[in-house]
Amino acid sequence: MKLRAHRFKQNALEALANPVLQASMKKAKGKFVDKRAIAIKEIDDFEATREAAKEIRNRVIENLDLWLEKFEQAAAARGAHVLWAKDGAEICRLVVDIGRKHGVKKAVKSKSMLSEEAGLNLALEAAGIQPVETDLGEYILQINDNEPPSHIIAPVVHKSLDEVADLFQKTHHTPRKTDIPQLTREAREVLRQHFLSAEMGISGGNFLIAETGSVALVTNEGNGRMVTTLPRVHVVITGIEKVIPTLEDLATLMRLLPRSATGQSISNYVSVLTGTKAEGESDGPEHLYFILVDNGRAEVVGSEFQDMLRCIRCGACMNHCPVYQTIGGQAYGWVYPGPMGSVLTPLYTGLENAIDLPHAATLCNQCGVVCPVKIPLPDLLRKLREKQVERHLRPWFERLAFRLWAWVASRPALYGLGTRFAVRYLKWLADGKGSIPRLGLAPEWTRGRNFPTPEGRTFRELYAQRGRA
């Protein structure tokens, strides 16, 4: 997926000016939030389960090399090939090589964020292998000229029903329909032929289980099972941080993943896939490959951002983020949107390539409160901002303004005088109204909202007045 994170401000402005996107985001707003709030009440020891999940993920990441070796041994013992990729280009090369080795002309895909990181579809097409996305949302995006997703679990949340109806009519050459069950059936009829004719299936993996060499897949549409069991070749592409020690650990994490993601007690399909098809079995791949990907993850291990590797890709942080809910996911300019993307994208692609993402948050900590594995997202965003200042990546006038602020704030008398002047200036600017529509010295602050009018006296003045009384 092409990196556009450096255009975040422009992307966000375009999203705010898009009436269809705004209507779609408004319609979806709060949908997953309310369901999650109900679903977590089903777990009596919810906070204890969160803490247990955090410990599982920490235990793995602190000894990641050992757990990966254990997974590789277990997977190989069950007939799988374990390959390693350092970046997106190597993912593409390995998958194309596998396809050519087995004479693959068509590959069906279940949703995989790593293939988005690599831009795998374009590489497969260039190699003469037809990629077919089978997750309904991803399929809609693919037939719309490979449009990037806007959410990791609801990739077309930004699209309207009319847009999808137009796409299906144009692509399938069928009468236009706006009934959702009919549209779903139409997609199912198209995709079924691809499931039956593809030689290779490509999937991601929610977790890799070290003790059994298995991959766990969590889906709601059933396409994951078709992709992983019908074709004779199955390729799993996951990040190296996805490994967990045992099936018991998987059970703990599965108490949190669907509840945090979609507000479901359990997803429609939870598959634990181990090894190749054995003699006498009716389905399953004859050849199984795991491609374990670094793409920037190894550098995060042992760093001050290591907590981010606990992420289990549930999307709860973006579901609760007021910034994401306003601009959608495509504005973030890469694979991962929302608060988790605002941390992951700078870490994986370089801080200088995602200069505005650490500031694409209000730091209200809703993301930290709902994260099932207790990632301190606001703290990590602050650390990224500190790194930007240390490396002089922010504009000169912003650095100068903060230095001036720090100089004034360290001098209490001058700070008190300045704030008294500021609140009286703002009150004068409001001219008796309850809010200020345009700040003369900082017009960008009031481009999309009014600034509330101060009462006219500072906290210090009010505190001193009460002391005298």
pLDDT digits (tens, 9 = 90+) for 391-432: 999 888 888 888 899 999 999 999 999 999 888 888 888 888
**pLDDT-based confidence at residue 450 (cuts at 50, 70, 90):** confident
How many Å apart are CA 107 and CA 410, to the nearest integer? 62
- Could you report the per-residue pLDDT of 68-94, keeping only the tens digit for each? 999 999 999 999 999 999 999 999 999
Instruction: Report whether pLDDT(170) > 90.
Output: yes
pLDDT at 462: 87
Q: Phi and psi for 243 in degrees, rounded to 5?
A: -75, 140
Closest CA to 259 of 438, 19, 1, 39: 39
**pLDDT-based confidence at residue 14 (cuts at 50, 70, 90):** very high
Percent of the chain with pLDDT over 90: 83
- Could you report the per-residue pLDDT of 230-258, keeping only the tens digit for each? 999 999 999 999 999 999 999 999 999 99
Where in 48-178 does DSSP place strands (E)?
Answer: 80-85, 106-109, 130-133
**pLDDT-based confidence at residue 27 (cuts at 50, 70, 90):** confident
How many CB atoms within 10 Å of residue 305? 19
**pLDDT-based confidence at residue 438 (cuts at 50, 70, 90):** confident
Instruction: Report whether pLDDT(370) > 80.
Output: yes
Give SS3 for 214. strand
| Predicted structure pTM score | 0.90
pLDDT at 448: 74
Percent of the chain with pLDDT over 70: 100
Q: Which tokens is 96 given?
A: 């194309």
Instruction: Report whether pLDDT(469) > 80.
Output: no
Q: Which amino acid is residue 456, in one-letter code?
A: G
- Could you report the per-residue pLDDT of 127-166, keeping only the tens digit for each? 999 999 999 999 999 999 999 999 999 999 999 999 999 9
pLDDT at 411: 95
Query: CB-side exposure of 292: number of CA atoms within 13 Å?
Result: 23
Average pLDDT over every residue of 91-110: 98
Instruction: Report whether pLDDT(465) > 80.
Output: yes
- Could you report the per-residue pLDDT of 297-331, keeping only the tens digit for each? 999 999 999 999 999 999 999 999 999 999 999 99
Q: What's the mean pLDDT when you consider all of the chain?
A: 94
Where in 183-323 does DSSP place strands (E)?
Answer: 200-203, 207-209, 214-219, 233-239, 243-244, 269-274, 287-293
Determine which helix (DSSP H) or strand (DSSP E) holds 187, and give its type and residue range.
helix 180-197
